[in-house]
Structure 1
Amino acid sequence: MTEKDFIPSEYTKLIAKGEVTWKSPSNIALVKYWGKEANQIPANPSISFTLDTCATTTKVTYKKLENKAQDFSFDLFFEGSLKEDFKPKIQTFFKRIEDYLPFLKNYHFKIETSNSFPHSSGIASSASGLSALALALMSLEKELNPDINEDYFIKKASFLARLGSGSAARSIEGDVVQWGNHEGTTNSSNLYAVKYPYKVHTNFKKYQDTILLVDKGQKEVSSTVGHNLMHGHPFSQQRFAQAHDNLTKLKEVFAEGDLKTFIEIVESEALTLHAMMMTSLPYFVLMKPNTLEIINKIWDFRKRTNTHVCFTLDAGANVHVLYPESEKEEIMQFIKDELVAFCQNGQYICDQIGFGAKKV
């Protein structure tokens, strides 16, 4: 599909008002997306586990205006409070998607959103938040044009979410989702994410993710700034090639249930992401001392116990501890005994693989 396929023809229905609620999860990338071109096109493909507990619930109430507005008309409430400081991001999102949802200026929207995780917890909420909003807007479009089928609905929701936040493209479906063109993956696209089309071994079913909140502060560098630092980066081309290679390797890893190679790829990807930030200009060190303490303790515990615990990182200090459900009891005890001490206020979140967004 091309961008033009997402520009609708005339709508067949008139809808005066209504409301819809979607709950959409966050996700954690295994092969990282880092670097982008214009219009939120990724510089390399990525693949992620969709999460379950960490999610955003967004209710959108809409009412048709008497006359088409000059600008977008909406109010945004976060956890019950009017949030004027969130509005510029939504304004930018609406501008980007207006060609694909031409009804946007015909309605006033009341957007009420809340997270299942603390807002200041250091968990990126853009993936869950913007995917939930994209789905709500797609629900209105389906009311205006009931002929929209489910496949188109899902693809366009991912396409729209991507224009708000790249990683949001991967939060529409689950449990393993890929975004970005990759010659080894059928129907992969830079425009939207796809449910991983190949075999995934039972070893990876109900995979666990315990998120250790090392630093709950504001991100030191925004994702947009971080992605832009890949332009002209001395190692960018090697990094992009590495991502393609790791995606190719994961096909066999997922099919065979090879946890050892899975760990090597996932940890290498996390450290490469941070290496890119440390070798850019300007450069950033996003890990904290406690991040490194946790990583070293995970390596030591894995060696001692022959378990399959590993870590991944986003562009920040928090640590996602990944492990198979079959080892949950032993590894959770290890986390409580040895890792929670390195979390800010001892805080962590227990999550696992989930199966995508749901209409509430």
Structure 2
Amino acid sequence: MDIEKELNPSIDDKFFLKKASFIARLGSGSACRSTLGFFSVWGKSDCFDFASDLYAIKYPNKIHDIYKGICDTVLIVDKEKKDVSSSMGHHLMEGHSFANDRLTQVRLNFKNLKNALESGDYNMFIKVVELEALSLHAMMMSSDQSYILLKPNTIKIINIIWKYRKENNSKICFTLDAGANIHLIYPKKEYDSTQEFIRNELIKFCESGKFINDMIGIGPLKL
């Protein structure tokens, strides 16, 4: 897109980002959401008439300050290539017995997430994030050609997270990629305590003790 803009200086920032997201989506949904930074929306939604399946848009409404600097630590449970690719996984969702109910759940979860982001209801945020993660894997396990991408250590980590959150009144939660790895999502103010939690209780369940510390970003930068 940068080359295109050099050849056509009339391209404005809005079009630049929209097309960059569109092109990135041809590679992956995760990529198309990462071209904007901070929070974005990808996919048609009753909440935002201008949202699209073709590209992501910046989240248009004000987000509560509690989510600023939110952290994401990826726990590497399994580094091996997935047995079922994301493309094949999407294919198996076609004609799934629970597909319609899942779409209904997604719409409700998105509305609840929108409200949580704007009001600062962090408990609702946790509920939606974890429900979406577990629902995704439940659909995989109940598809026509069922498959399980979670590993035993994934389940162990989830149970430890739930126990830790309850005992420490923490705002830590988890989501899952389409595989065995866990993303720990938590406020910046809990960074130090979460790092201690990881090293004391979770690192032993990570392959070769590997994990990646990250946080919400501002989007891609030109090299």
TM-score range for the pair, normalised by the shorter chain length: over 0.9
Secondary structure of 2:156 counterpart: helix
Contact in 2 for aligned 1:206/1:325 (Cα 8 Å): yes
Contact in 2 for aligned 1:207/1:353 (Cα 8 Å): yes
Secondary structure of 2:69 counterpart: coil
Residues in 2 aligned to 1:338 and 1:311: alpha-carbon distance in whole angstroms: 15
1:259 aligns with 2:126: no
Count of residue pairs the alignment pairs up = 223
Q: What is the aligned partner in structure 1 of residue 22 from structure 2?
A: 159
1:171 aligns with 2:34: yes
Unaligned runs of 5+ in 1: 1-137
Residues in 2 aligned to 1:307 and 1:285: alpha-carbon distance in whole angstroms: 29
Q: What is the aligned partner in structure 2 of residue 29 from structure 1?
A: none
Contact in 2 for aligned 1:186/1:197 (Cα 8 Å): no
Q: What is the aligned partner in structure 2 of residue 196 from structure 1?
A: 59
Q: What is the aligned partner in structure 2 of residue 145 from structure 1?
A: 8
Return the offset for 1:358: 1.0
Return the offset for 1:201: 0.8
Residues in 1 aligned to 2:4 and 2:194: alpha-carbon distance in whole angstroms: 45
Return the offset for 1:186: 4.4
Q: What root-mean-square deviation, in Å, do the aligned CA atoms of Structure 1 and Structure 2 show?
A: 1.0
The amino acid that maps onto 1:201 is H
1:279 aligns with 2:142: yes
Higher helix fraction (1 or 2): 2
1:315 aligns with 2:178: yes
Q: What is the aligned partner in structure 1 of residue 94 from structure 2?
A: 231
Q: Which has the higher contact order (CA 8 A, sep 6+)?
A: 2
Which residue, out of 210, 222, 225, partners 2:85?
Answer: 222
Secondary structure of 1:358 counterpart: coil
Contact in 2 for aligned 1:211/1:321 (Cα 8 Å): yes
Residues in 1 aligned to 2:21 and 2:171: alpha-carbon distance in whole angstroms: 32
1:353 aligns with 2:196: no
Q: What is the aligned partner in structure 1 of residue 187 from structure 2?
A: 324
Secondary structure of 1:359 counterpart: coil
Residue deviations 1:266-305, cap 9 Å, x none?
Answer: 0000000000100012111110000000000000001101
Q: Write out aligned runs for 1:88-167 (5 A).
A: 138-167=1-30
Contact in 2 for aligned 1:206/1:353 (Cα 8 Å): yes
Runs of 4+ in 1 over 4 A off after TM superposition: none
Return the offset for 1:163: 2.1
Higher mean alpha-carbon deviation, 177-186 vs 331-340, is at 177-186
1:341 aligns with 2:204: yes
Residues in 2 aligned to 1:331 and 1:162: alpha-carbon distance in whole angstroms: 32
Residues in 2 aligned to 1:321 and 1:164: alpha-carbon distance in whole angstroms: 25
Q: What is the aligned partner in structure 1 of residue 73 from structure 2?
A: 210
Return the offset for 1:167: 2.6
Residues in 2 aligned to 1:176 and 1:224: alpha-carbon distance in whole angstroms: 24
Residues in 1 aligned to 2:161 and 2:27: alpha-carbon distance in whole angstroms: 35
1:305 aligns with 2:168: yes
Residues in 2 aligned to 1:356 and 1:271: alpha-carbon distance in whole angstroms: 27
Residues in 2 aligned to 1:143 and 1:203: alpha-carbon distance in whole angstroms: 39
Residue deviations 1:200-221, cap 9 Å, x none?
Answer: 1111110011110000001111
Secondary structure of 2:5 counterpart: helix
The amino acid that maps onto 1:257 is G
Unaligned runs of 5+ in 2: none
Secondary structure of 2:53 counterpart: coil
Q: What is the aligned partner in structure 2 of residue 181 from structure 1?
A: 44
The amino acid that maps onto 2:106 is A
Return the offset for 1:172: 0.5
The amino acid that maps onto 1:166 is G
Residues in 1 aligned to 2:49 and 2:62: alpha-carbon distance in whole angstroms: 13
